[in-house]
């Protein structure tokens, strides 16, 4: 595991974007696994800036997203489908038909999850998977539990996750209680993994996830077992870690 220290959020975003851009340049038809939430937004902004300067070409890139709320329409501003259009896809020359987000509008959970898993397999797997880190150690929407979940599946969101995501909604009652998410096995099958973490509020979980024991009670701790993981943290997020 390679842990990179960044000065602040902007520096973290730039360093993460450097890693993603290198992947695109080395393999123009690469498959990127993408994440949502507030932490990757700066990384996406940096990628857009480099695209606008002519430094990046997304025309042959394919993407698969980690997760999606169950029951939100694509037009819902809180859906991750909408998030990806707003924060990346609408601003670069990516082929929209090559972008894949779990279908939260599909009420058949087994079907929705199987189709997303099949898309990943049909693309030949993920070259680089971008991850954030939840306050309780979740990656994607894989919440703490008794075992590591395997493939794309339906998950009941933890109360702490619902509370954390409530800032994006008018009230906590509007936050969806379920989501479709890539499982730990699917994430771990990515050839490379890139984790971005920012802020003092994540310092404790960074220490537990990347310097503590591997346990499903801290889902991100499994990343210690992956052969090619880079974690980019700002100084605040690393403030409790033994570095």
Q: With the C-alpha atoms ordered 122, 188, 180, 79, is the resulting torsion angle positive or negative?
A: negative
The answer, yes or no, to whether residue 15 has pLDDT greater than 80, is yes
- Residue 122, pLDDT score: 98
- Residue 90, pLDDT score: 98
Taking all residues of the chain, what is their mean pLDDT, rounded to a whole number?
A: 95
pLDDT in tens, 142-168: 989 878 889 999 999 889 889 988 888
Which stretches does DSSP call E strand in 73-224?
99-100, 128-131, 153-156, 178-181, 192-197
Class of domain 2-198+213-233 as given by CATH:
alpha beta
- Would you place residue 63 in the very low, low, confident or very high pLDDT band (cuts 50, 70, 90)? very high
- Residue 177, pLDDT score: 93
Burial of 106 (0-12, 13-18, 19+ CB in 10 A): middle
- Residue 165, pLDDT score: 85
pLDDT in tens, 139-149: 999 989 878 88
Task: Provide the CB-side half-sphere exposure for 106 (13 A, CA).
Answer: 16
Residue of 217, 145, 152 lying closest to 179 (CA atoms): 152
- Please report, rounded to a whole number, the percentage of residues in the chain having pLDDT higher than 90: 88
- Residue 31, pLDDT score: 98
Residue of 69, 187, 179 lying closest to 130 (CA atoms): 187
pLDDT in tens, 210-228: 999 999 999 999 999 999 9
- Residue 109, pLDDT score: 95
Give domain limits for the chain: 2-198+213-233
- Residue 69, pLDDT score: 95
Region 67-90: mean pLDDT is 95
pLDDT in tens, 26-52: 999 999 999 999 999 999 999 999 999
Alpha-carbon gap, residue 126 to 63, rounded angstroms: 8
pLDDT in tens, 98-118: 999 999 999 999 999 999 999
- Residue 160, pLDDT score: 84
The answer, yes or no, to whether residue 243 has pLDDT greater than 80, is no
**What residues are labeled active site?**
67, 136, 138, 143
- Residue 146, pLDDT score: 74
């Amino acid at each position: 595991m390679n842990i990179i220290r960044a000065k602040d959020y902007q520096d973290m975003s730039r360093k993460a974007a450097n890693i993603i851009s290198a992947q695109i340049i080395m393999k123009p038809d690469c498959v990127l696994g993408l994440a949502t939430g507030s932490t990757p937004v700066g990384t996406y902004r940096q990628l857009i800036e480099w695209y606008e300067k002519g430094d990046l070409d997304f025309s042959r890139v394919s993407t698969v997203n980690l997760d999606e709320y169950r029951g939100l329409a694509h037009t819902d501003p809180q859906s991750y489908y909408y998030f990806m259009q707003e924060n990346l896809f609408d601003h670069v020359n990516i082929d929209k038909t090559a972008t894949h987000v779990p279908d939260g509008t599909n009420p058949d959970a087994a079907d929705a999850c199987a189709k997303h898993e099949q898309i990943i397999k049909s693309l030949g797997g993920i070259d680089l998977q971008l991850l954030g880190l939840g306050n309780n150690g979740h990656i994607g929407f894989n919440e703490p539990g008794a075992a590591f979940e395997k493939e794309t599946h339906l998950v009941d969101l933890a109360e702490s996750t619902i509370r954390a995501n409530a800032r994006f909604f008018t009230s906590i009652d509007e936050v969806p209680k379920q989501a479709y998410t890539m499982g730990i096995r699917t994430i771990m099958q990515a050839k490379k993994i890139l984790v971005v973490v920012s802020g003092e509020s994540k310092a404790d979980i960074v220490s537990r996830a990347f310097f503590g024991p591997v346990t499903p009670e801290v889902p991100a701790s499994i990343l210690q077992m992956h052969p090619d993981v880079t974690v980019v943290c700002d100084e605040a997020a690393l403030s409790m870690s033994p570095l």
